[in-house]
Amino acid sequence: MEIILTESVDGLGEIGEIVNVKPGFARNYLLPQGFAVVADQSSMKQFEHQKRQLEHKALKLAKSADAMKTKIEAVACVFALRAGDDGKLFGSVTSADICAKLAEAGVEVDRKKVQLDESIKVLGDHKVAVKLPAAVVAEISVSVVAAE
């Protein structure tokens, strides 16, 4: 089933692309959520008319994502936690902790967007990626130091 994406969908495509998906995925998820419209004759004509608006929307989204990236990368996340003699933490630093630090600095990020394979359990400096819209990835440095 051919559809026209009206929103960017991870793993599927960007705004304005015509993609071929299984009918159940389109009928049960993409169409009800408003992420896509069916690519038939009438919607193709409407799509040509709305293409400029979708491109403008994508450009606006990319600009806001770049602005968000600079805000996120300006924040220094420093965690002072108890650790053992060998440098292992008694707890861990999770994506929720990183989001809380970013929120303290005035940057709201969904914890699911923080690309942390597993929680940080050792002292030191770590690089963590934050996935933003329009395929923009911000990288923040997380420092974990021993608390006294």
Give the contacts of 146 (CB within 8 A, at least 6 positions apart): 80, 81, 82, 83, 123
Q: 77-133 pLDDT, tens per residue?
A: 999 999 998 999 999 999 999 999 999 999 999 999 999 999 999 999 999 999 998
For Cα atoms 46, 52, 58, give the angle at the middle one, nearest 5 degrees. 115
Q: 112-124 pLDDT, tens per residue?
A: 999 999 999 999 9
Which is the CATH superfamily of the domain at 2-64? Answer: Ribosomal protein L9, N-terminal domain (3.40.5.10)
Q: Which among 74, 79, 107, 113 has a CA at the least distance from the CA of 93?
A: 79
- Could you count the other beta carbons within 10 Å of the beta carbon of residue 72? 20
CATH architecture of 70-146: Roll (3.10)
pTM to 2 decimal places: 0.68
The structural domains of the chain, with segments of one domain joined by +, span 2-64, 70-146
Distance between CA atoms of 103 and 86, rounded to whole angstroms?
Answer: 31
Bridge-based pairing state of the strands 136-146 and 124-132: antiparallel
